[in-house]
């Protein structure tokens, strides 16, 4: 395999963090409010802007509703969106390993889930022996199971049976955490998900940490010799160290400078309503012991002297989560916790919850699809609550498991069943789409015709008219107190 390491020597070996919870009294400078209006992006706090909200940014680690870095948010009423090159928000579907920004209330009910892809464009080819690859001209670190750690878990891969199958010019989308490679003095994306795209997008998406601002219309990202982005209007008060995304028309894709149709500050850094609850997970980078500061996903965090922070862990790039309160252009953090190192913790534990039927739970090995994920479970990990259930009955299933290889089935470590379905539980229907209106869809099942509610948040994988009379899979949720499922996602049957 061709070696593709960046043009400098070895990379730092990241040490795992042995401190489970580190309480910090800290402040982090985060430029935001003006940026949100200037870039036309991000998720606002709603209403007149005077109301407080809660936001969490991190990586999707499961579905019950939606689970982000171990915290579950109810999503039965949530709008799931992704931004276009023009700055519009369009409906989408959340997937494992994606980076998201969740707007939620005091009961952990999400109102908006914004998907935050970091890169989308051509790949340079298969990764080298160290896992390095370029996507949209930016360095990406792919982590296989053999080299995964608690802070750098294995990359979830979709569309490939092996990392070596990635070809030059393949169109891919990448999610992950930005980390500063000290030997390069450059920022790289440690991938949590890489997905092969069916076709090139109209625009190439490039993201990275601002390194410098050569002029009022140009920004350089990720390194002193990194990509130079040029646009008619940069976000107001843009600063070095912030995380930005840029959309480059496919027709303008080429050598630097890249002519961007839009540049926007990304994610939680685009928010700063005073008093908002903020949570962000990412890799600790660029730790400065002299000033007691560290960067997490484009957010600069200041740690008071004597806070008890594990300096070795911060220096080695631990995966951390910061909780705090928003302020005018700032966040006052209340604590930070980090990944605990345990045997086998390098591969993420995935949680899946939903309603299934027609499963023979007494087979020696059971295979089924739950939340768009193929699951394999041996009889030894299936709880008796499942084996006692009738194959014909619909039951609420809770699965925990891990992925071993790219694009493989989830290997279950625990499967439990409950005949009582909680409110807001997700269930799947497969049949032929008969009709769609602004409020309902009609689905022909083997047992008869079922009506499901449709609203502005329903995601259609392709225009609904093209799915009429086609076999489809519909992900729906039973609204509390209702008798019909609300369709969350409608896709052509695979």
Joined tokens for residue 168: 């030059």
Model pTM score: 0.86
Question: What's the Rg (C-alpha) of the chain?
Answer: 23
Averaged over successive runs of 10 residues, the pLDDT of the chain (494 residues) comes to 46 32 29 31 39 86 92 94 96 97 94 98 95 96 88 91 94 96 86 96 96 96 94 91 95 92 90 76 87 81 63 80 61 50 57 93 93 94 93 91 84 94 89 96 94 96 96 89 88 92
pLDDT score at 305:
62
pLDDT score at 408:
82
Q: Are 297 and 306 in contact (CB under 8 A)?
A: no
Q: Which of 338, 432, 405, 400 is nearest to 156 (CA)?
A: 405
The answer for residues whose C-beta is within 8 angstroms of residue 208's C-beta and 6 or more apart is: 138, 178, 187, 189, 221, 222, 226, 227, 243, 244
pLDDT score at 1:
46
pLDDT score at 18:
29
pLDDT score at 267:
87
pLDDT score at 4:
57
Compute the distance between CA of residue 425 and CA of residue 76 in angstroms, rounded to an integer: 8
Give the burial string for 223-257 (b: 16+ CB within 10 Å, else e).
Answer: beebbbbbbeebbeebeebbbbbbbbeeeebeeeb
In 202-318, DSSP assigns E strands to 203-215, 218-221, 228-230, 243-249, 258-265, 277-288, 293-296, 299-302
Q: Are 243 and 211 in contact (CB under 8 A)?
A: no
Asked if residue 257 has a cis previous peptide bond (ω within 30° of 0), the answer is yes
pLDDT score at 300:
78
Domains of the chain: 1-341 (no CATH), 350-418 (2.40.50), 426-492 (2.40.50.320)
Task: Let me know if 263 is exposed, middle or buried by CB neighbors in 10 A (0-12, 13-18, 19+).
Answer: buried
């Amino acid at each position: 395999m061709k070696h593709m390491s960046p043009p400098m020597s070895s990379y730092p070996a990241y040490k795992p963090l042995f401190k489970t919870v580190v309480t910090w009294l800290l402040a982090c400078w985060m430029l935001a409010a003006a940026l949100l209006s200037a870039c036309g992006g991000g998720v606002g706090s709603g209403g007149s802007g005077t109301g407080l909200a809660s936001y969490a940014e991190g990586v999707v680690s499961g579905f019950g509703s939606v689970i982000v870095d171990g915290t579950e948010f109810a999503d039965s009423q949530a709008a799931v969106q992704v931004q276009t090159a023009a700055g519009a928000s369009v409906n989408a579907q959340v997937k494992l390993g994606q980076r998201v920004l969740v707007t939620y209330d005091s009961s952990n009910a999400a109102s908006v889930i914004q998907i935050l892809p970091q890169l989308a464009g051509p790949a340079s080819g298969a990764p080298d022996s160290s896992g390095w690859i370029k996507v949209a001209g930016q360095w990406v670190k792919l982590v296989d199971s053999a080299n995964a750690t608690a802070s750098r878990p294995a990359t979830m891969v979709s569309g490939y049976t092996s990392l070596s199958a990635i070809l030059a010019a393949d169109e891919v989308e990448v999610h992950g955490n930005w980390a500063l490679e000290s030997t390069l003095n450059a920022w790289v994306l440690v991938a949590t998900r890489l997905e092969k795209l069916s076709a090139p997008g109209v625009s190439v998406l490039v993201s990275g940490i601002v390194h410098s601002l050569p002029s009022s219309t140009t920004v350089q990202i990720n390194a002193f010799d990194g990509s130079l982005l040029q646009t008619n209007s940069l976000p107001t008060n843009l600063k070095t160290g912030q995380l930005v995304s840029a959309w480059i028309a496919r027709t303008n894709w080429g050598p630097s400078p890249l002519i961007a149709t839009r540049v926007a500050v990304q994610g939680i850094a685009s928010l700063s309503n005073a008093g908002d609850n903020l949570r962000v997970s990412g890799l600790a980078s660029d730790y400065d012991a002299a000033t007691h500061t560290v960067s997490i996903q484009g957010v600069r965090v200041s740690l008071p002297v004597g806070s008890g922070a594990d300096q070795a862990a911060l220096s080695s790039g631990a995966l951390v989560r910061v909780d705090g309160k928003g302020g005018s252009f700032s966040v006052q953090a209340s604590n930070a916790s980090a990944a605990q190192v345990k045997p086998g913790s390098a591969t993420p534990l995935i949680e899946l919850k939903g309603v299934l039927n027609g499963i023979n739970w007494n087979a020696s090995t059971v295979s089924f699809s739950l939340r768009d994920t193929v699951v394999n479970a041996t009889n030894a990990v299936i709880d008796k609550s499942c084996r006692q259930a009738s194959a014909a009955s619909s039951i609420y299933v809770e699965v925990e498991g891990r992925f071993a290889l790219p694009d493989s089935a989830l290997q279950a470590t625990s499967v439990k069943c409950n005949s009582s379905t909680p409110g807001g539980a997700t269930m799947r229907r497969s049949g032929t789409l008969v009709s769609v209106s602004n409020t309902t869809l009609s689905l022909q099942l083997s047992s008869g015709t079922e009506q499901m509610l449709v609203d502005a948040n329903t995601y259609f994988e392709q225009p609904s008219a093209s799915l009429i009379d086609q076999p489809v899979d519909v992900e729906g949720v039973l609204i509390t107190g209702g008798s019909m499922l609300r369709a969350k996602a409608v896709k052509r049957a695979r």
